Amino acid sequence: MISLTQLTSVVQVSLRSLWLHRMRSILTMLGIIFGVSSVIAMLAIGEGASQQAQAQIAHLGSTNLILKTVKPPQQTANDTTQQSIAIYGLTYDDAERFRVTIPDAQVVVQSKIISHKAYYRNRILAIELVGTVAWYPELAPVELDRGRFLSSSDLHYNESVCVIDRNTADNLFLIDDPIDMDIKIAGNYYRVVGIVSETRVQSNEDMLETRANSAPDTTSAGGRVYIPITTMKTRFGETSIQFGGTTGLVGEKVELSEITVRVPTIERVLPTQDVLDGILKRFHKQQDYQIVVPLELLRQAIRTKRIFSIVLGSIAAISLLVGGIGIMNIMLATVSERTREIGIRRALGAKKQDIVFQFLSETLLLTLTGGLLGMVLGALIPIAVTYFGSMPTVITTQAMLLSFGISAGVGLTFGLYPAVKAANMDPIESLRHE
Amino acid sequence: MTPNNSDITISCEAVVQLQNLCKSYFLGHSELPVLKGINLDFHRGEYVSIMGPSGSGKSTLLNLLGCLDRPTDGKYLLGGLDISEMDDDTLSGIRGKQIGFIFQSFNLIPQLNIIENIEVSLYYQQVHKVQRRKRAEELAERVGLGDRTKHRPSELSGGQQQRVAIARALANDPLILLADEPTGNLDSKSGREILGMLDELHAGGKTIIVVTHDPKVASRTQRSIHMLDGRIERQTLNGARQ
């Protein structure tokens, strides 16, 4: 239909008439620039947030099921007065039952977490004391830095040993080497045998329980100290008394804070969840536990991301639509302004399709240039967001191609009507046009 | 001159034959006849003027001759081909190859320079860029504007602009040249120059049809056709010119 040399001259002519109205062209382009850049930026931010969420969830282990002790909903006033000590939460029996019921559950980690203070020389640090088992690192997001983790003999003999995390090592010991040093927790001394670093990104609790729950985040303020769970049981018992509540003192008896169960395959995760829930329902009178399934969270995150993308996409599409209408408006003005030129070209032998092509190429040049500039801007925005807002962003090639395709599509869609209108003008009328 | 100039082969002496040509405009349901049966022949190499008061139909006739419009009835044979049956694209092609327009208000494209203005009709005939440029430069030289090729129309005087228009009309070596009041917007000196140029072209064998009010312009042509009320009132031969 059209040769390459013709194409280049059409483009040249278009460039010239766009250049003739530089200001107008730039303003028209702005609509597309912002439209395209917002598509890219939004997709990049959305993708970044989603990948971060997915990484965090995947970190918990997609074949893991995490059971947590939660405080049961407040009972009626009568109950509280009769029952001076609230007994709730997961028990050692629960862990045993899981082990028996689900034989192929690879590891069952029990742990109990209490808040405490650790002393070393004259320094004090608020810590989370975690009573756990020797195979804790296999399931939890921790990595051994130095020394060793708790061993089965530590557990067996209720040894007074502990493994501290990087935070504790830095804040409590400062420049001292913590290995083989003793720290004092609740009147007892524990020898440090190893240092672990938490590989978790920020805090998983933030992810899992939403930020609305503004419980004091002891993980980031202080550190974590791991001791054998058997030691913890003998030293601290299962009852803790705290000030608070309406009666002044509130007693709590909690055996285990957390049990982690790992199943061999992803397909087993959801059925296992039902089994665990069934077991717990039978032995727990109240809803004092919570089952966190990273896999389920992962699926939710993907679902959320899809909705997120649709919403962001719609907003970006609307801005592109507005940009496109702006372009059509300008092109219609251009066509009526250049009526005479169209008449002259028609008289000199231009076919209708030549006129269509000329105006379409102008619109396409506008939108594609705008699209390219928008891509540059759209790539810069996420970089700035990452830099200043410390939010991860991911610019995908798909997003780039999509937005470029969209800008070309907008050019074609909104350029066609003015171009056809120009081509269908009566040459005699156009020649007479002033 | 142009590579594909062979769509119309001249089959008879009469380059243009009009047979009972009628043109009406329709306003709602009422018919407004503008041309009421024109019978005319223009011969190869002839220099003809069409005269008449406003509303006599001479502009409509010119539009029909220029293939910008189609007759309501009757036949228009250009070089032996019936124009009245052709579709829009073919008509565009005919306009580009066979007809050279010279307008009263020059009608140059303001954003193109002189050379590019001359090239426009060649461009639509898909003449190769190099040939196009060569041809346009020749023509610019021929109308005496060889040193102004990079200028924009707005930088030229009226007479110069009309000369560019003539060069443009000649670009495809058309069968007929149609001039609509070519001196209407010019001072008398430039007007004389342009008329001199048309005389030269005629002497070179071009078929030229001029629509004019000006008897001085008409007197330079071989034959004057006087129109009134959509009909040919009379024709005069101006044999006595120089």
Report the pLDDT value the prediction gives residue A163, as an integer from 0 to 100.
Answer: 92
- Residue A313 and residue A282 in one domain: no
Hey, are the CB atoms on B124 and A352 less than 8 Å from each other? no
User: Which among A94, A115, A114 is positioned nearest to A105, based on CA atoms?
Assistant: A94
Q: Give, for B210, the enclosing helix (H) or strand (E).
A: strand B207-211
Q: State the Cα–Cα distance between residues A252 and B208, nearest whole angstrom.
A: 113
| Average pLDDT for B208-227 | 92
- Tell which B residues from 140 to 169 touch A, by Cβ distance under 8 Å: 168
User: Any chain A CB within 8 A of the CB of B131?
Assistant: no
Taking only the tens place, the pLDDT of each residue in B54-89 is: 889 888 999 999 999 889 999 999 988 888 888 999
Contacts of A82 (CB under 8 A, 6+ apart): none
- HSE-CB at A144 with a 13 A cutoff on CA atoms is 16
Give the chain B residue whose CA is nearest to the CA of A352.
Answer: B89
pLDDT at B7 over 50: no
Number of domains in chain A: 2
User: B46-63+88-237 in CATH: which number?
Assistant: 3.40.50.300
Closest chain B residue to A355 measured between Cα atoms? B124
**Distance (Å, whole) CA A410 – CA A371:** 10
Does B120 reach chain A within 8 Å, measured CB to CB?
A: yes
Strands B176-180 and B231-237: unpaired
Q: How many CB pairs under 8 A join A and B?
A: 68
Asked if B120 and A431 come within 8 Å (Cβ–Cβ), the reply is: no
Other beta carbons within 10 Å of B14: 17
Does some domain include residue A65? no
- Helices and strands in chain B: count of H runs, count of E runs: 7, 10
Q: What is the pLDDT along chain A (434 residues), one digit of tens a residue?
A: 567 777 887 888 888 888 888 898 999 899 889 888 888 888 888 888 888 887 777 777 777 888 888 877 765 444 444 456 677 788 877 887 887 788 777 666 777 788 888 888 888 888 888 888 887 887 777 788 888 988 888 888 888 999 998 888 888 888 888 899 899 988 889 999 999 887 654 444 433 433 333 333 334 446 888 998 888 888 887 666 655 555 556 667 777 888 888 888 777 888 888 888 888 888 887 888 888 888 777 788 888 888 888 888 788 778 888 888 989 999 999 999 999 999 999 999 999 999 999 999 999 999 999 999 999 998 898 888 888 887 888 888 888 888 888 888 888 999 999 999 999 999 999 998 87
CA dist., res. A406 & res. A408, Å (int): 5
Are residues A90 and A196 located together in one domain of the fold?
yes
Residues A327, A382 within the same domain: yes
Q: Give me the residue from B69, B97, B109 closest to A349, CB to CB.
A: B97
Based on the domain organization, do A341 and A425 belong to the same domain?
yes
Under an 8 A CB cutoff, do B101 and A348 touch?
yes
Cα separation, A35 vs A314, in Å, equals 11
Which of A5, A340, A427 comes nearest B128 by C-beta? Answer: A5
Res B1 pLDDT > 50: no
Give CA–CA dist B176/B174, Å, rounded: 6
Residues A257 and A347 occupy one common structural domain: no
Q: Tokens standing for A414?
A: 């909104």
Q: What is the pLDDT of residue A108?
A: 67
User: Domain boundary residue among A253, A287, A321?
Assistant: A287
Between CA A44 and CA A41 the distance in angstroms is 5
Residue ending a domain, among A243, A264, A287, is A287
Determine the residue of chain A that is closest to B60 in CA distance: A428
Q: Which helix (H) or strand (E) holds B3?
A: none
Write out the two tokens for A32: 């597309």
- One domain for residues A125 and A226: yes
pLDDT at A247: 57
User: Do A339 and A236 fall into the same domain?
Assistant: no
Rg of chain A on CA atoms, in Å: 34
> Is the torsion defined by CA of B135, B140, B143, B147 positive or negative?
negative
Q: pLDDT at position B187, please?
A: 92
In a domain, A64, yes or no: no
Asked whether residue A62 is assigned to any structural domain, the reply reads no
Contacts of B125 in chain A (CB under 8 A): 349
User: B141 CA to chain A: closest CA distance, Å?
Assistant: 21
Q: Which of A243, A259, A287 is the last residue of a domain?
A: A287
Could you tell me if A95 and A236 lie in one domain? yes
The structural domains of chain B, with segments of one domain joined by +, span: 46-63+88-237
Q: What are phi and psi of B63, to 5 degrees?
A: -60, -40
B17 to chain A, any CB pair closer than 8 A? The answer is: no
Residues A262 and A235 in one domain: yes
Q: Residue A385 is part of which domain span? A: 4-56+301-432
DSSP-assigned beta bridge partners for residue A228: A132
Q: Same structural domain for residues A149 and A269?
A: yes
| Residue among A348, A353, A358 with most chain B CBs within 10 A, to mutate | A348
What residues of chain A have any CB closer than 8 angstroms to a CB in chain B? 3, 5-6, 9, 13, 16-17, 20, 340-341, 343-354, 427-428, 431
Contact state of B69 with A354 under an 8 Å Cβ cutoff: no
* Model pLDDT, residue A249: 62
Q: CB burial class (10 A; 0-12, 13-18, 19+) of residue A197? A: middle
Q: Is the model's pLDDT at B163 over the cut of 90?
A: yes
For the sheet with B176-180, list strands across it: B99-102, B176-180, B207-211, B47-51, B223-228, B231-237
In a domain, A326, yes or no: yes
Is A294 a domain residue?
A: no
Of A315, A319, A309, the C-alpha closest to A407 is: A319
User: Closest-CA residue in chain A for B110?
Assistant: A341
**Neighbour-count burial of A59, counting CB atoms closer than 10 A to its CB (0-12 exposed, 13-18 middle, 19+ buried):** middle
According to DSSP, the residues that pair with A240 across neighbouring strands are A252
Residue B191 backbone dihedrals phi, psi, to 5 degrees: -60, -45
For residue B126, how many other CB atoms are within 10 A of its CB? 15
- In this complex, the residue of B68, B125, B129 whose CB is nearest that of residue A347 is B68
Burial class (CB in 10 A: 0-12, 13-18, 19+), A317: middle
User: Is residue A124 located within the same domain as residue A177?
Assistant: yes
Flag whether A404 is in a domain. yes
